[in-house]
Amino acid sequence: MKASHLFTAFLAALIGVAPVAAAEAAPAEAAPAEKAKAPAKAAAKPKKAANKKKSAKAPSLEEATKIATTPVQAKRHIKRHEQKKAYTAANKGKIKILMLGDSITHQWERASAAPAAKKYLEPYGVLNLGCGGDRTQHTLWIVEKSGILEMINPKLVTLMIGTNNRYDYRATVAGIKSILDAVRKRYPKTPILLYAIFPRGADNKNLRRIENEKVNAEIVKFCNNKDIIWVDIRKNFLTPEGILEKSMMPDLLHPRNVKGYTVWGESLKPYFEKYGK
């Protein structure tokens, strides 16, 4: 009996050990499969995010208008406006003209535009606060929050903004009106040159150009050609068929060369001569 009991216990031990060993080994064997699933999940996430972004619902007109008319500082402003503030403090008595806008205005400072800038801007004490990527809400921050406008009393302000805005064109119009009002509040008697947004894209079928044309059709109504002066040089950049040539704007958005900025400079010249001395 004792021997049989010992033999039975020995068999039971053998049978008991085998399942336990298999259960413990299972996670180790399953781990590679889990690892294989992990990258698949990670890879799926960007796709999901991309789909979500693609299908993101555009804001309502009310929401878009709030975005376009609420001052917002961009990170790109920080360094640029520190430099501009320092320049303004050192040259405030020489600044006669303030230019506001996005990259189209900002890029008067590019090396490729230097000959045109030297001819059309430098003689007149111009402070260029245009900033690449800006939309109406960003320009509004510059006017209302940067503190730079409080440092000067220009004789003329130029403004062209809106080509970077998204959503409803009516929101862009509201944003431009907010900027005009903010400038006027600071400089009650200073004339403002309001430029029609320049054409963009290869031809009249470009959707962004079409939206900008809707904006232009509305903002011209803000001008009385006395203290707010409408300046429209769109056709000077285009062929009679409405084609925007790369010799004028290499990327179909920015002049970026002497030819394009000469067109703009010639339109500024009579006003700069009048107010910039």
What is the three-state SS of 128-156? ECCCCCCCHHHHHHHHHHCCCHHHCCCCE
| Contact between 186 and 149 (Cβ < 8 Å) | yes
Closest CA to 150 of 188, 187, 177: 187
How does pLDDT run across 125-184, given as a tens digit for each residue?
999 999 999 999 999 999 999 999 999 999 999 999 999 998 999 999 999 999 999 999
| pLDDT tens-place string over residues 15-63 | 343 333 333 333 333 333 433 444 444 444 555 444 445 557 889 999 9
Question: What residues does 128 pair with on adjacent strands?
Answer: 99
Interior CA angle at 159 toward 158 and 164, to 5°?
Answer: 155
Query: What six digits make up the tokens of 148?
Result: 């730079």
Percentage of the chain beyond pLDDT 90 is 72
Please state the rounded mean pLDDT for residues 2-24: 39
CA dihedral defined by 157, 158, 164, 168, rounded to 10 degrees? 80
Which amino acid is located at 175 in the chain? G
Query: Average of pLDDT values for 239-265?
Result: 91
User: pLDDT category, 226, cuts 50, 70, 90?
Assistant: confident
- The larger pLDDT score, comparing residue 42 to residue 268, is at 268
The strand order across the sheet containing 192-195 reads: 126-128, 97-101, 156-160, 192-195, 228-231
pTM comes to: 0.79
Name, in order, each residue with C-beta under 8 angstroms of 123's C-beta and a sequence gap of 6 or more: 272, 276
Q: Which amino acid is at 54?
A: K
Spatial contact of 183 and 192, defined as CB atoms under 8 Å apart: yes
